[in-house]
Amino acid sequence: MAKDERMEKVVNLLERRGFIFASGQIYGSLAGFFDYGNYGTLLKRKIEQNWWNFFVGKRNDVAGIDGAIVSSQAIWNASGHLAEFSDPLIECKKCHTRFRADSLIEDELKISLEGASLDNINKLILENKLICQNCKGVLEIAKPFNLMFKTYVGASEDESATAYLRPETAQMIFTNFKQVQMSSRKKLPFGIAQIGKAFRNEISPRNFVFRCREFSQMEMEFFMHPEKLDDCQINEDELGLEINVLTAKMQENKEKESKTTFAILLNGKSIGTKWHAYWIIKAYEWFLGLGIRKENLRLRQHVKTELSHYSFETWDLEYNYPWGWKELSGIANRGDYDLKAHMISSKKDLTYFDDETKIKVLPMVIEPSFGLERAFLTVIIDAFEEKMEGDEKKTILHLNPNTAPNECAVFPLMKKDGMAQKAIEIFEMLRKNTACEYDEAGSIGKRYARQDEIGTPYCLTIDYDTLKDETITIRDRDSTKQKRIKIGDCQSTLTALLNGAEF
Ligand code: ATP
């Protein structure tokens, strides 16, 4: 299947089965805003829950927060976002359509522009005589366009009332660093994590929910003693994990990515510190746990010109999307940039008192940052399969139980002769512990197909034999194999299967 065609089919499925809709469609939607329907909400919540368990719930060294979305101008001034958080904007002199300049070049010249400076962008536009994609008019010079949404707090609209919707959740962690550290009594090294909305006025939102204007981030700032950046245990299995890698050096030499291990990356000093490697590994493991296939992931280091204003070193986990390799998640070394900036600007002490040395230090930070919508879309793209069964096209989402909106579905073969009643009984029993759906409409084949499309791993059917011998049929989505099990074993069998047992 052609890559564009695959994306079209994925979007079609997500809209048709009510996972995601363009927001407020009945009035004509605003680009870059989406509403989630039933299955989309279930899947999104699963990813969020899974992230929280993995990065916060199961650890002793991470505290959680839930910060405000609207925040004062002072925060974004100090963090550098007011001055620096921009993308290159280019406008047509004739029709005044505005484009993201690097995307326009990438579209027209079919090259990747990661890390290109504004000067380079303008040079490429001039040299290649690029014109307006809308009216073929001449283009202005590209300029930086700040991506933050501005608003006013209270009844006045003057400068002092100016506030911003946060473009990243991270700043609420930095500004609360001291309170959270003291109230949670965490000692370095420790993390503060948060899941919440972020807003960016993207010049050209595109590729469905890959680039939206309102999205959710799942972020952690991991604070470390500045002299203990390598004071970190990584087990042998994790060091030996294989991953496709593209370092900054390989990009300079125009090489392609190649498979390596984290041990090699660390020994060769490709990754600057051990804690940075640790969080890259954790991010990679988390995506693998969502069921995303290894071969579709790669780790790419930012080249110097591409680094965000706060970053000392960044590695992106990229996915091979239908439109090419793009960032799925970023793991940045923010150093002491943010705490220092807020300390200078607020004149508040944000240092940490080290009990051992009795010296105040300004912690250094590694930030694993994830976009919930990107994780969502990536899980779906990776799980999507369309195949012919006889004359019929079948769509299957091979979601694993960590992401599937329904873990099982329960059907009566027919509504009559007490089968529906029995099926509802079993459904009510299972739904206490398992994400479950009851369906009695249409042929069994249609009902299987409906569940395959939304990624339900197992379907249970109640038939005439059930009424005689208390057994039901369980069907495995991926192999379509079926077997009979006792109603009494139903929950334990299902739990074992959802935890990885062989069918
Ligand atoms: P990109 O280069 O794609 O614009 P970024 O480098 O600006 O992304 P970060 O600032 O590192 O992204 O944000 C962290 C994560 O937030 C990203 O890895 C991505 O998953 C998510 N994210 C960022 N911008 C968007 C967006 N406009 N829509 C959806 N998710 C986003």
Q: For 148-204, what is each residue's pLDDT tens digit?
A: 999 999 998 888 899 999 999 999 999 999 999 999 999 999 999 999 999 999 998
**Of the candidates 46, 48, 45, which has an alpha carbon nearest to the alpha carbon of residue 56?**
48
User: Does the beta carbon of 215 lie inside 6 Å of ligand 1?
Assistant: yes
CA of 237 to the centre of ligand 1 (A): 30
| Nearest CA, atom 24, ligand 1 | 211
3-state secondary structure of 418: coil
Report the candidate in 371, 365, 397, 361 with the shortest Cα–Cα distance to residue 382.
397
CA–centroid distance, residue 380 to ligand 1 (Å): 18
Question: Does ligand 1 have an atom closer than 6 angstroms to the CB of 212?
Answer: yes
Nearest CA to ligand 1 atom 26: 211
Helix (H, G, I), strand (E, B) or coil at 375: helix
Q: Report d(CA 500, CA 479) in Å as an integer.
A: 14
The DSSP code sequence of 398-412 is ---TTT-S-SEEEEE
Q: Please state the atom number of ligand 1 nearest to the C-alpha of residue 211.
A: 28
Distance 328 CA to ligand 1 centre (A): 8
Burial of 127 (0-12, 13-18, 19+ CB in 10 A): exposed
Q: Does residue 369 have its Cβ closer than 6 Å to ligand 1?
A: yes
> Residue with structure tokens 């199961």?
58
Buried/exposed code over 51-73 (b: 16+ C-beta within 10 A; e: otherwise): bbebbbeeeeebbbbebeeebbb
Distance CA(133)–CA(182), nearest Å, equals: 54
Q: Where are the beta strands (DSSP E) in 18-93?
A: 20-22, 34-36, 62-64, 70-72, 86-91
pLDDT tens digits, 218-258: 999 999 999 999 999 999 999 999 999 999 999 999 999 99
Report the pLDDT value the prediction gives residue 206, as an integer from 0 to 100.
87
**Ligand 1 proximity of 302 Cβ (cutoff 6 Å):** no
User: Minimal CA–CA distance to 466: which of 408, 425, 432?
Assistant: 425
Alpha helix ranges (H) inside 148-259: 170-175, 177-184, 236-239, 248-252
Dist CA 2 CA 10 (whole Å):
12
- Tell whether ligand 1 has an atom less than 6 A from the beta carbon of residue 371: yes
Q: Is the CB of 330 under 6 A from ligand 1?
A: yes
Q: Is the CB of 378 under 6 A from ligand 1?
A: no
Neighbour count for residue 360 (Cβ, 10 Å): 10
Tell me phi and psi for residue 389, to 5 degrees. Answer: -120, 105
Q: Which amino acid is at 156?
A: S
Candidate from 30, 215, 327, 369 with most ligand 1 atoms within 8 A of CB, to mutate: 327
Q: For residue range 95-142, what is the model confidence (pLDDT) as tens digits?
A: 999 999 999 999 899 888 877 889 999 999 999 999 999 999 999 999
Residue with the nearest Cα to atom 2 of ligand 1?
Answer: 327
pTM for the predicted model, two decimal places: 0.94
The dihedral through the CA atoms of 178, 181, 187, 193 has a sign that is negative
In short, whether 327's Cβ falls inside 6 Å of ligand 1 is: yes
Bond preceding residue 322 cis, omega within 30 of 0: no
**Cβ-based burial of 412 (10 A; exposed 0-12, middle 13-18, buried ≥19):** buried
Q: How far apart are CA 319 and CA 47, in angstroms?
A: 17
> Residue 176 is encoded by which pair of tokens?
């609360």
Nearest one of 487, 490, 483 to 422, comparing CA atoms: 487
Q: What is the Cα–Cα distance from 58 to 52, expressed in whole angstroms?
A: 8
Probe residue for ligand 1, chosen from 374, 377, 378 as the CB with the greatest number of ligand atoms within 8 Å: 374
Tell me which residues of the chain have a pLDDT lower than 70: 1
Q: Please, what sign has the CA dihedral across residues 290, 292, 298, 304? A: negative
53 CB contacts (<8 Å, ≥6 apart)?
none
**What sign for the dihedral angle of Cα 339, 227, 264, 281?**
negative
